[in-house]
Structure 1
């Protein structure tokens, strides 16, 4: 079945978030070092990003490196940071050709200086692009984000800038790392794991969750199209009944 042809362009998710899982297991199955899985995973990123832009998805967020990932063996973390730098250098052409704007969320200041510098350069170079916004979640953890939000709002309440009674969802949204992005409509996780792993907890409130058995290095745009087709064939009720929607 050609899922791309079955997708309704009017009902596209406005924000897709992906937990790219399975690089290490892919490498192990091939008898390779874990880093080879991460390198292969970078090719999957390119394919899925191009596929998203191709069909008109306006916002794509990729969980690239979590706050918990810093606890992995140092050699793997160092290699991942080097891979981040090299990937950004390689993909700038792809981003420009596809009119894609790059952004990043998370504790970016904890990244190595070289990675931060390269990231900031690509973000600056693509800032004028408008076809799609690609957001990389780097050194990101949703609990850390929400803690940051609470502290920031508390400071503004203490200074009198915000009234405690005025705090509502819109105020919280304005203080999130994703303040300029809509809530997630579709969250995809690869590798068969079925959890959200501290990813966009607030933004996923009403997202449709889609879990794929495919390991990330083998994930392609056709798999993305299948997930979107599945999404479009679900009933999104947002707390209402089916009768109310009809």
Structure 2
């Protein structure tokens, strides 16, 4: 039987390597905003012989709590977690979706009582069950004004929908002011659109991480990630280790960021 220090990611050599990775990081080069696409929860559950994906989703949620701690301890200011896409609302079974909704509501509640974190729902309420919307709203109100890690929970989120909603918001504001279409055309800028996104007022993600070896955006932060750096991890979501995260950040700090080519 393995002891806690013998399990992967728990031994002395692992901790020494983890500390070395931390020392290699240049604090001035750290990302301000990290976005995470957690993937592989269902595969993780199947590989371990579970008869339901709910076990993988619960393990994934627990890992996201750890991930937020890693980011906070490193001094990162904003983290966005992609938890439930608008597409998921139509392509998951009703049983799995019900489990996911319960897990996300519990996660939002827990995070709103943890450290000095501010929790924000980024996404659309459309199609979300009333209890989940209530849980996300309560977490936002409970943490409003907190100055610690800013945690965005992307729930009912779709990048195309976000841009569409931003444009609708701009047009509605313009119409309410009684201005012409010519004025609207003149006033449209990337900065104005950015202000009307779900993440308006926040820095765009510097680093986007995705687990499970998949290399696609899946309609996540299409506008904000225009100049982001991407890092893909082979580990399934619940198996993500702190050294995987630190390697991603180290890789980011070593890249020469280019804008537009």
In the TM superposition, 1:150-161 aligns within 5 A as: 150-158=167-175, 159-160=178-179
Deviations 1:81-109 (A, max 9, x none): 1112222333333x2x2x11100111124
Q: CA RMSD in A?
A: 1.6
TM-score by length of 1: 0.91
Q: For residue 166 of structure 1, what is the aligned residue in structure 2?
A: 187
The alpha-carbon distance between structure 1 residues 120 and 151, as it changes in their structure 2 partners (threshold 3 A), is closer
TM-score by length of 2: 0.86
For structure 1, the 5+ residue unaligned runs are: 241-246
Q: For residue 59 of structure 2, what is the aligned residue in structure 1?
A: 40
Match for residue 85 of structure 1 among 93, 105, 112: 105
Contact 2:111 2:117 in 1 (8 A): no
How far off its partner does 1:157 sit? 4.1
Q: For residue 78 of structure 2, what is the aligned residue in structure 1?
A: 59
2:221 paired with 1:200: yes
Partner of 1:205, secondary structure, is helix
Contact 1:88 1:118 in 2 (8 A): yes
Deviations 1:154-211 (A, max 9, x none): 3344431853212111111111111121111100000000000000001001100100
Partner of 1:129, secondary structure, is coil
Corresponding pairs, count = 237
In the TM superposition, 1:1-246 aligns within 5 A as: 1=17, 2-32=20-50, 33-71=52-90, 72-93=92-113, 95=114, 97=115, 99-158=116-175, 159-160=178-179, 163-239=184-260
Partner of 2:215, secondary structure, is coil
